[in-house]
Amino acid sequence: MDLAYVCEWERWPKSTHCPSVPLACAWSCRNLIAFTTDLRNDDQGSRLLSADADGQIKCWSMADHLANSWESHVGSLVEGDPIVALSWLHNGVKLALHVEKSGASSFGEKFSRVKFSPSLTLFGGKPMEGWIAVTVSGLVTVSLLKPSGQVLTSTESLCRLRGRVALADIAFTGGGNIVVATADGSSASPVQFYKVCVSVVSEKCRIDTEILPSLFMRCTADLNRKDKFPAITHLKFLARDMSEQVLLCASSQTSSIVECWSLRKEGLPVNNVFQQISPVVGDKQPMILKWRILSATNDLDRVSAVALPKLPISLTNTDLKVASDTQFYPGLGLALAFHDGSVHIVHRLSLQSMAVFYSSAAPRSADEPAVKRSRTTGPAVHFKAMQLSWTSLALVGIDNHGKLSMLRISPSMGHTLDVSLALRHLLFLLEYCMVTGYDWWDTLLHVQPGMVQSLVEKLHEEYTRQNAALQQVLSTRILAMKASLCKLSPCTVARVCDYHAKLFLVAVSSTLKSLLRPHFLNTPDKSPGDRLTEVCAKITDADIDKVMINLKTEEFVLDMNTLQALQQLLQWVGDFVLYLLASLPNQGSPLRPGHSFLRDGASLGTLRELMVVIRIWGLLKPSCLPVYSATSDTQDSMSLLFRLLTKLWTCCRDEGPASEPDEALVDECCLLPSQLLIPSLDWLPVSDGLVSRLQPKQPLRLHFGKAPALPASASALQLDGLIRAPGQPKIDHLRRLHLGAYPTEECKTCTRCGCVTMLRSPNKTTAVKQWEQRWIKNCLCGGLWRRVPLSYP
């Protein structure tokens, strides 16, 4: 493991440490981190639950779908009863990740859906949203969110004899039940388990509880050591959908011990007397549930925090031997933080050490006994809350000084791996993110510039092996993933612009085609958009008017106001076609944005279809046409561009290697700058995030609430023409509207690609609102939005 960056508060008192304040931390699958400190708190997630010492539970959601703006409208209260455990109800979605099949061609073999029932369902089987919490007095409270916005809340005791609950955790079973584990904090007391069933009866929430087998920690059974670890400090299920495996940690003032337990079904032996009366045969033998210890550590330094993996790798108890020998996969490890400032990654079942990180400057041997380590005066800086990312390739920790530290966890766990095997690990996790829709930022932490080309090619190769339906579902996601990867290498950074342009082109094409309506509503024929694609593919004539007459132009009739409102999008199409054709003579330069389009028959075909649509709409509303600055007043710019575009498209329309454009086409494209003014397209910022600037062994130091002043990366320096200098006019990348050098309208920007757009819509037309609704929750690339402050000179 190595440190990627540290983020600290601007005015944090240097002498302050908070040994008595418990901290909380959570990491969402969209790579947003929520955490608390004793100074202030910061809530981030897609939807977030928070609870406090007064029994107040709040459900937070993004205001205007902005990652840095949150609001709470619903919640529940168990007055005066502090919450010790809190969880969303399970939605029934569970995916199994098969590491042993990482070389399979089908995503269905690598990632399979596991049968798992939601905690509660609505009519039709739709999972019901809600949350469950456990209080310090032994109460369990459940709140259900109805589609109408109403909240149904019910509170019950976990058992008849209520007692103090110092620690608790919540897990779910495949049958839709909930399992709650509790401990009173003393290792001399049993760890109790309860089954909780939630239902809705007569529009009221009902809770039924049942006691399950309990356990005593193994360390208390040794008479010589039963008083050595008096307190249970950590109680965690290994996964929220793995209620049969639990991790326990008992501690003293100076040391800790960790145990892993598993719940098994075992046959109940029948006395010989009863065997003679009624012999037990085969499956009729009575079975009981019993906790069995899987593994335990030796004496460790005092554990301060535990983080469990979220990667759904299926493991059975028989996997222990395999895992202990050669399998060092990141998702198999859990993290233990210690009071001496160190962090250990251990196998989640065998508890064997897999990787070690020390926060101090002087590294220490992992084999050095904890009792022999010299102790400094005063409390050491250590993590009080930790979370692993959803691919287990990164770890975030909040220390007792309130600082946030981001650690990279190597896929090899410190072991020597062949380059091809390391690439396969990263490729497998990128595929997992692509299939699930999870954010892949933590995977990018491990991609070196020399890996980018191979990863992009292998990712595309695996994508093309999937069936057509799955390819269509993942088509935009893989483009966004390729763009993120290409930002990390100076050799591929120009492709970032191409991938974003392709995403925009796909979105514009699908939106404009959706506006077309058949002349007769009951026609069983193809949609106008499908017919447009078919005709344009069949008619290869370079004359735009000859292609147009083969279409049913009455299907393209739209309201005049709608056509005028679409002018900015139509202008982008026209400008982009002109830019591509003008750049054809310079096609030998791969660093020039737009290079990949010149050999992309599918994208050129889409542009050709849109040019035909624009031509037809121009007959209805001439003011909606793209505006070109031509040297001749009599020149038909649309016809000229369509003719050149068709010639370029015919060179690469067929599958297989594209043929080189003829010299006549190149010569005509060379003349374009003398005939038309070539627009300077507004490309998205390149390498504007932290990932491309993180270097091994050189952690960054950041401050909360303050934009990092980071040096430009080598990738950005090679494309100075694409980066906007301060004071240069800005543009709304989605609406294609100019905002000026210092916009007066509130804007939001994408946390992934840097796309900027206005927060409030200035348009009233239905068609434009339809376009804008596509980007309410997420950016074009799938990234999250965040509000940006107004900039002034």
| Closest listed residue to residue 139, CA positions, set 171, 87, 182 | 182
Percent of the chain with pLDDT over 90: 48
Q: For residue 521, what pLDDT band results from cuts at 50, 70 and 90?
A: low
pLDDT for position 504: 95
Residue 505 and residue 596 in contact, taking contact as beta carbons nearer than 8 Å: no
Kindly state the average pLDDT of the residues 336-341.
93
CB atoms within 10 A of CB 20: 6
How many Å is the Cα radius of gyration of the chain? 30
pLDDT per position as a tens digit, 687-724: 557 777 776 668 888 888 887 775 555 444 445 445 55
d(CA 577, CA 429): 36
What pLDDT was estimated at residue 543? 92
Instruction: Compute the distance between CA of residue 729 and CA of residue 740 in angstroms, rounded to an integer.
Output: 5
Q: What are the tens digits of pLDDT across the range 451-478? A: 999 999 999 999 999 999 999 999 999 9
Which whole-number Å values give the CA distances from 110 to 95, 100, 428, 435, in the listed order?
10, 8, 9, 10
Residue 95 has pLDDT above 50, yes or no: yes
Q: What is the pLDDT of residue 466?
A: 94
Structure tokens, 426:
């990263």
CA-based nearest residue to 89, from 129, 121, 122? 129
Check: CB of residue 442 under 8 Å from CB of residue 389.
yes
As to burial, measured by CB atoms within 10 angstroms (0-12 exposed, 13-18 middle, 19+ buried), residue 116 is middle
Q: What is the pLDDT of residue 762?
A: 85
Q: What is the DSSP letter of 487?
A: T
Cα–Cα dist 483/70, whole Å: 29
Secondary structure class of 461 (helix, strand, coil): helix
| Beta bridge partners of residue 312, listed in sequence order | none
Degrees (nearest 5) of the Cα angle 747, 750, 752? 160
Give residue-wise pLDDT tens across range 103-123: 888 999 999 999 999 999 988
Q: Answer yes or no: pTM beyond 0.85.
A: yes
Q: Bigger pLDDT: 606 or 589?
A: 606
For 316-338, give the DSSP string: -GGGHHHHHHT---GGGEEEEEE
Indicate whether 323 pLDDT > 90.
no
CB 452 within 8 A of CB 486: yes
Q: Which residue has the tokens 């079942």?
A: 349
Lowest mean pLDDT among 68-82, 319-333, 476-490: 319-333
Count of beta carbons in the 10 Å neighbourhood of residue 304: 27
Q: Which 3 state secondary structure label does DSSP give 142?
A: strand
**Cβ burial, residue 13 (10 Å; 0-12/13-18/19+):** exposed
Higher pLDDT, 709 or 7: 7
Per the CB < 8 A criterion, the answer to whether 469 and 482 are in contact is no
Confidence of residue 39 (pLDDT cuts 50, 70, 90): very low
Task: Quote the CA–CA distance of 793 and 787 in Å, as a whole number.
Answer: 19
Render 291-318 in DSSP notation, one character per residue. EEEEEE---EEPEEEEE---S-B---GG
> Angle at CA 782, nearest 5°, toward 777 and 784?
55
**Mean pLDDT, rounded, for 155-170:** 92
Q: Which residue has the higher pLDDT, 54 or 272?
A: 54
**Is 536 in contact with 608 (CB distance < 8 Å)?**
yes
Helix, strand or coil for residue 560?
A: helix
Mean pLDDT value across the chain = 84
Kind and range of the H or E run holding 429: helix 419-436
Type and span of the H or E element at 213: strand 204-215
What's the rounded Cα separation, in Å, for the pair 647 and 644? 5
Mean of pLDDT values over 362-377: 43
